[in-house]
Structure 1
Amino acid sequence: MIDQNYKWFPVYTRSRAEKKAYDELLRKGIKAYLPLKKTLKQWSDRKKIIEEPLIKSYLFVHISTKEHSEVLMTNGISRFLYFSGKIAYMPDQQIDQLKLLLATDEELEVFDHEIKPGQKVLIKAGPFKDMIAEMVSVHNKQRIILRLDNIGYSIEINTSMAFVEPI
């Protein structure tokens, strides 16, 4: 039987403390979920695949309201997230979908801004770095069409949405 008093709550962690806070929560017996993605990191002498948080400074706890203070007293946890003045929670189904999504081999990318067609953007990396363009459309988050004002053309470039930010 599923206890209806338990919900998934997103919590905000200190910077780069997601894994330590997650481990601490598990040691306390609190059910937690830290979505991790595999990333290839390159140093000057080697390459290595590491797991890093899918969403920086966030993890999820499955608790009842009685356990809120215990979570807040956990090393690395900063605060709960609020939505419309109440502590935010996520339906079980969304956590299950996130777990399913991470179980695939698809490369996932999370960015915290939404860019709509017609919006001006700054390109932050690649051969068009520091150019200002207009977002025309987005194809699968990797191929985007930009209108470059200074040359009067639209071009489709293969870049990550993480390298484009709204102005």
Structure 2
Amino acid sequence: MIDHSYKWYPVYTRSRAEKKAHEELNRKNITTYIPLKKVLKQWSDRKKIVEEALIKSYLFVYISSREYAEVLMTNGISRFIYFSGQIASIPEKQIHDLRLLLATEADLEVFDFDIKPGEKVLIKAGPFKGIIAELVSVQNKTRIILRLQNMGFAININTSIAFVEPFGV
């Protein structure tokens, strides 16, 4: 049985085509949502605040299964996102929560990996570059606690979670 109820679906766009795909879908009367964040860009002659996609190459469409093909035939759309062999849908509450989070104008970063306490990490940038350690906890996005291998103690390091990546995966 095909589900014709409306749900939010994540779709993958061509690189930096989120806004164009959004406009095309809106012309087709398809409701879309792109989580955008404000970023200060610097050029040689000026600075400007611009809106960029929070999650690169993603946007969300609110459709029924009847509109799958119409979405895929839209300029800029590459594919639907799949989970366990089926097109993934996003609960309305998560879209609502994402909108609330972005309304706060907090400085948000998205990482495409999930590091949990106890996992090994490689510091890939900054003054601690090249160190392999165990993640103990994340205090905030610029302060993490790492346990250095075989030393038995933890060290508070002021480095961004953006500077570490899973090690040995």
Ranges in structure 1 where 5+ consecutive residues have no aligned partner: none
Q: For residues 127 and 150 of structure 1, do their structure 2 counterparts lie closer, same or farther at Cα, with a shift above 3 Å needed?
A: farther
Query: Superposed, which structure 2 residues align to 1:1-167 within 5 Å?
Result: 5-149=5-149, 154-167=154-167
Q: For residues 82 and 48 of structure 1, do their structure 2 counterparts lie closer, same or farther at Cα, with a shift above 3 Å needed?
A: same
Counterparts of 1:44 and 1:128, CA distance in 2: 31
With normalisation by structure 1, the TM-score equals 0.88
Counterparts of 2:166 and 2:46, CA distance in 1: 34
Counterparts of 1:149 and 1:86, CA distance in 2: 41
Supply the AA of the counterpart residue of 1:90: I
Shift of 1:29: 1.4
Give the secondary-structure state (helix, strand or coil) at the position aligned to 2:70: helix
Supply the AA of the counterpart residue of 1:33: Y
Supply the AA of the counterpart residue of 2:126: G
Q: For residues 118 and 44 of structure 1, do their structure 2 counterparts lie closer, same or farther at Cα, with a shift above 3 Å needed?
A: farther
1:142-162 per-position Cα deviation (integer Å, ceiling 9, x unaligned): 310112349875322233222
Counterparts of 1:65 and 1:154, CA distance in 2: 51
Supply the AA of the counterpart residue of 2:95: I
1:82-112 per-position Cα deviation (integer Å, ceiling 9, x unaligned): 1222211112121111111110021111111
Counterparts of 1:113 and 1:74, CA distance in 2: 29
C-alpha RMSD of the superposition: 2.0
1:47-86 per-position Cα deviation (integer Å, ceiling 9, x unaligned): 3222111111110001111111000000111111112222
Supply the AA of the counterpart residue of 1:71: V
Ranges in structure 2 where 5+ consecutive residues have no aligned partner: none
1:108-127 per-position Cα deviation (integer Å, ceiling 9, x unaligned): 11111111222221112222
With normalisation by structure 2, the TM-score equals 0.87
Counterparts of 1:83 and 1:11, CA distance in 2: 12
Give the share of equivalent positions with the same residue, in percent. Answer: 73
